[in-house]
A and B are shown apart, each in its own frame.
Chain A
Amino acid sequence: MIAKRLATALLVMFFASFLSFSLLYLAPGSVADAVLREQLGFEPTEDEVVAFITKYNLDQPFIVQYYIWLKLFVTGKLICPQTGESVVDEFLYRFPVTLSLAFSAVLFASCLGIPFGVISAIKKDSVIDNVCRVVASIGVSIPSFWLALLLILFFCVRLKILPAFGFGFKNMILPTIALGFHLFASITRVTRGSMLEVLNEQYILVSRAKGLPERLIIIRHALKNAIIPVVTLIGLQLGHLLGGTVIIESIFSLPGIGKFLMDSIFARDYIAVSGFVMFIAFLFVIVNLIVDVVYMILDSRVRVD
């Protein structure tokens, strides 16, 4: 089962690499011109352009260029013209920032979202439930970048208790909230819905009839099954989270992969862009693979085909 899933993931990676390279290949205007102009700061001469084109094999047909690009990428020798570093090094240097941001956002979202959802479901239609639902509805609609700006405005400009920029524990609080808020709201909604569904099941009725304490019923029996859709949701939203880091890292000037991607785009460093897009796809496929496996372990009824 897992072997088959792995094979699909490999195939997907292959197609993704084809797509990443196509973007690089289709970039309008001469890549050579754009890159050289950025590097030199003035119009490159004819000879320099020709030298660049032969150096990077830009005169070869598409499939050859693709092969060279893929070989360089796989062997870690794809160089960003902008910085002179290899794309792998650039990625590895920035990856921990993005990983810790995404991880803390998921942690923040689940630690708040699951309890809120459970309480909301147990106290259905109470004041607490209504408050939770309003917060969750707003949470899924609020743009993360606007939330980030409001947080900066409130905590950094008005109260001056948290730093807006830089990288450290205190600096991660606001980006985590801004990035994780949407996920927190979705988790609250899904946990609530799924808990309500499970609490209506017969085995919960049986547990109650047996006289088990309510706390045990909720945590051991209800939540254990109600959590499965939540795990699916987190898995589905991880990609969205990864995309969200681009905007959040840009706002808070966090030196992660999202910020580097934006900087490369604005610097017209398309080689770095294509490499990073590949890495992001790679990351995303791995995450999906892990989610599938976790899902299979959690729910023995699921058979992933």
Chain B
Amino acid sequence: MSREIKKSKEMKVSVAMVLLLVTLGMFAPLISPYDPNELNLKSRLKYPCIEHPFGTDNFGRDVLSRVMYGARVSLFVAMSVVLLTSSVGIGLGIIAGYYGGIVDNAIMRLVDALLAFPNIILAIVILGIFGTSYLNLVIALAAVWWVSYARMVRGVVLSLKESEFILAVKALGANNFEIMAKHILPNAMSPVLPLMTLDLGSAILAISGLGFLGLGLQPPTPEWGVMLRDALPFMETHPYLMVFPGFMIMVSVLAFNMLGDSLRDVLDPKRRFEKGFEG
């Protein structure tokens, strides 16, 4: 009983954190005190003060405003990644599980091949070879991540396919597409939702990591990883520059991790121990 209460508390806290983050991202243009890319060479590298609570960077840009816009950028890219990843993964997973045979084999061998790479490595290489842009970033991350959705959904579909209600729908003359979209998809979603939430956190980590390596979004985009990279030369003299962006990454990942874990406990209690993989 005490466990249930604790879990719901965890969920409330994480929902609050995620909502705060989304609000910050959505209303960044309204609440940020300065334009995130406004150069002001007169106030370069200012320590935190009243006008600039988080200080200013080497171009005189306000760090607080950039951190706020960072939430907008990170959330937007992370959501794009997760949406693309999950739709490709779920689609291919359902097709593989439903049709079986050659189709299943082809998809699963592709899955095996992709699983032979640590996921971030392939993203790094794709971005390194094809160049960095918003679209390439989303594609590079989605190209490797859809695999976990496909495997998970395929497993669910395999057991669902033989269930009586699907046989009944078939007997009623529903076509394959209808069965997959209307009857299998909704039933396959309960293990997928926690994974999507956890992956939002993983995506934020991966995006900032790639940004930090110089392979993600490019300056002057106010992205947290890019900001950390920009702060490197000033590490000894202006360490505050690298505190706030990193802290924001940690807090957002923590929020999505907590929310994903508590969702999983509610929706899919069997898989409690297995954690999502981070990039």
Question: Which residues of A are interface residues toward B (Cβ below 8 A)?
Answer: 8, 11-13, 15-16, 18-19, 23-24, 26-28, 125, 137-138, 140-146, 149-150, 152-153, 157, 182, 186, 189-190, 193-194, 229, 233, 236-237, 239-240, 242-244, 246-247, 250, 261-262, 265-266, 270, 273, 277, 280-281, 284-285
Contact = CB atoms under 8 A, between A and B. Distances in A.
A244 B205 CA distance: 11
Given A153-B235, A189-B275, A273-B129, A280 B118 contact: yes
A239 B228 contact: no
Given A145-B209, A244-B120, 14 more contacts: A12-B116, A15-B112, A18-B113, A28-B131, A141-B253, A143-B209, A143-B249, A153-B235, A229-B273, A240-B119, A240-B120, A242-B121, A243-B119, A284-B116
Contact of A141 (B2, B110, B201, B273): B201
A193 to B, nearest CB: 6
Interface of B: 2, 109-110, 112-122, 124-126, 128-131, 201, 205, 208-209, 212-215, 225, 228, 232, 235-236, 239, 242, 246, 249-251, 253-254, 257-258, 272-275, 277-279
Contacts of B112: 8, 11-12, 15
Given A15-B116, A152-B235, A250-B213, A233 B278 contact: no
A245 B148 CA distance: 22
Q: Is the interface of B mostly helix, strand, loop or mixed?
A: helix
B246 A146 contact: yes
A15 B110 CA distance: 8
3 residue pairs, one from A and one from B, having the closest CB atoms = A15-B113, A265-B128, A146-B246
A157 B235 contact: yes
A190 B277 contact: no
Q: Is the interface of A mostly helix, strand, loop or mixed?
A: helix
A149 B275 contact: no
A16 B116 contact: yes
Given A153-B242, A157-B236, A246 B124 contact: yes
A240 B277 contact: yes
Contacts of A281: 116-117
A193 B122 CA distance: 32
A242 B124 CA distance: 13
Nearest to A230: B273
Contacts of B121: 242-243, 246, 261, 277, 280
Contact of B117 (A150, A152, A277): A277
A285 B116 contact: yes
A153 B236 CA distance: 7
B118 A15 contact: no
A270 B129 contact: yes
A244 B212 CA distance: 13
Nearest to B255: A141
Contacts of A262: 124, 213
Contacts of A23: 125-126, 129
Contacts of A233: 273-275
Contacts of A265: 124-125, 128-129, 215
B197 to A, nearest CB: 13
Given A247-B212, A280-B121, A149 B242 contact: yes
Contacts of B232: 149
